[in-house]
């Protein structure tokens, strides 16, 4: 198990895992998860990379940030963490909500991003699981304490039955989603979850989209990874994004769900290591960015 470190930022503790040496890789987890989601791949990646995996505010061992739970606020926190630990540029890897945060980070701080890899990412289409949409409904704050009550979580059988009806297969999907739901028994974690969900999701689907800005990613080495049985965010979003970004790569894990990095950590680690080894890190150029913005505005 990778050691958990802490860094105080703006008066609050941010937890993160860090190991290895070489080109820096920042792993950003999804909602209700934490850096443990990456544990099966951290050791493999650390053989040739400096791997940094934070717990987002309100997740895992990190304190909850007050007020702003937007993608931009999370991206700014990641920028501050990297600055605090002395890392200037990274290959950015985001899973689920972390994918949306990664894209926002690349948009806000392009000079810090060498490559971008998105894993079953949010922000690339409207469709999303009813399980996630339900957290955006009015009154979710009152319902969640009942769902996450300890006697129910200890029983466990209702979780498997309910999630099975939503398309979650036994294995990584069911285990990680169940672990995430269990974490919401904590009041602080529950508040962070609801506010984060509502910043990006409505009862009708995803409300934040990067589709109209994907042309800005054409200069970045860009890897997409998806499970073809993802019950939370459909693999169709990955195919559509791959078609929209010339030069992007798409790897679909057959039989995998929302957590391909857990379903097959060896394949995932090899894929990411190869992506880094076979691409040149992007270099931010203000003049080139201006040209892309103007060209995008005219289409």
pLDDT digits (tens, 9 = 90+) for 179-218: 877 777 778 788 888 888 889 999 899 988 898 888 888 8
Residue 258 annotated among the catalytic residues of the structure: yes
CA end-to-end span of the chain: 49
Q: What is the mean pLDDT of residues 28-57?
A: 96
Which of 59-63, 241-245, 266-270, 286-290 is least confident?
286-290
Query: Among residues 34, 50, 173, 230, which one is catalytic?
Result: 230
Question: 53-80: per-residue pLDDT in tens?
Answer: 999 998 999 998 777 889 999 999 999 9
Total residues belonging to the chain: 299
The alpha helices in the chain, defined as continuous H runs, are 39-45, 71-84, 97-108, 130-134, 140-147, 150-155, 157-165, 172-183, 187-200, 236-244, 260-263, 265-277, 286-297
Query: Given pLDDT bands bounded at 50, 70 and 90, which one contains residue 152?
Result: very low
Catalytic residue among 35, 62, 76, 96: 96
User: Annotated catalytic residue: which of 256, 258, 264, 269?
Assistant: 258
Q: Is the pLDDT of residue 14 over 70?
A: yes
C-alpha count within 13 angstroms, C-beta hemisphere, residue 56:
30
pLDDT at 175 over 50: yes
Place 155 in a pLDDT band, splitting at 50, 70 and 90: very low
> Which residue from 140, 93, 139, 146 is spatially nearest to 120, judged by alpha carbons?
93
- Whether the model pTM is above 0.85: yes
Q: Is residue 156's pLDDT more than 50?
A: no
List % helix, strand, coil for the chain (3-state, nearest 5): 45, 15, 35
Q: Are 222 and 278 in contact (CB under 8 A)?
A: no
**Predicted confidence (pLDDT) per residue in 236-264, tens digit:** 999 999 999 999 999 999 999 999 999 99
Confidence check: pLDDT of 147 > 70: no
Summarised one tens digit per residue, pLDDT across range 88-135 is: 999 999 999 999 999 999 999 999 999 999 999 999 999 998 878 888
Q: How far is CA 186 from the centre of its chain?
A: 21
Mean pLDDT, the chain, integer = 89
In the prediction, which pLDDT does 151 show?
44
Domain range annotation of the chain = 4-129+207-297
Three-state secondary structure string covering 197-244: HHHHEECCEECCCCHHHHHHHCCCCEEEEEECCCCCCCCHHHHHHHHH
CATH code of 4-129+207-297, in short, is: 3.40.50.1820
């Amino acid at each position: 198990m990778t050691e958990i470190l802490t860094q105080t930022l703006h008066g609050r503790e941010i937890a993160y895992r860090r190991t290895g040496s070489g080109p820096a890789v920042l792993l950003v987890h999804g909602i209700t998860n934490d850096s443990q989601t990456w544990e099966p791949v951290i050791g493999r990646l650390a053989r040739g990379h400096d791997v940094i995996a934070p717990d987002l505010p309100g997740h895992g061992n990190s304190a909850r940030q007050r007020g702003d739970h937007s993608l931009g606020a999370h991206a700014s926190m990641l920028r501050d963490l990297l600055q605090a630990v002395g890392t200037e540029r990274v290959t950015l890897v985001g899973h689920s909500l972390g994918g949306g945060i990664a894209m926002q980070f690349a948009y806000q701080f392009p000079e810090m991003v060498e490559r971008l890899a998105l894993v079953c990412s949010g922000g690339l289409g409207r469709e999303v699981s009813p399980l996630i949409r339900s957290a955006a409904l009015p009154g979710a704050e009152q319902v969640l304490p009942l769902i996450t009550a300890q006697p129910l979580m200890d029983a466990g059988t209702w979780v498997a039955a309910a999630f099975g009806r939503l398309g979650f297969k036994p294995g990584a999907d069911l285990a990680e989603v169940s672990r995430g739901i269990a974490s919401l028994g904590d009041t602080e974690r529950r508040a962070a979850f609801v506010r984060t969900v509502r910043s990006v999701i409505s009862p009708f689907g995803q409300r934040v989209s990067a589709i109209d800005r994907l042309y800005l990613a054409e200069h970045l080495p860009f890897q997409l990874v998806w499970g073809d049985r993802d019950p939370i965010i459909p693999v169709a979003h990955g195919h559509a994004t791959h078609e929209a970004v010339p030069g992007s790569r798409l790897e679909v894990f057959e039989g995998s769900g929302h957590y391909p990095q857990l379903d097959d950590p060896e394949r995932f680690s090899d894929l990411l290591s190869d992506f880094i080894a076979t691409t040149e890190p992007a270099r931010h150029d203000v003049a080139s960015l201006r040209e892309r913005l103007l060209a995008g505005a005219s289409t």
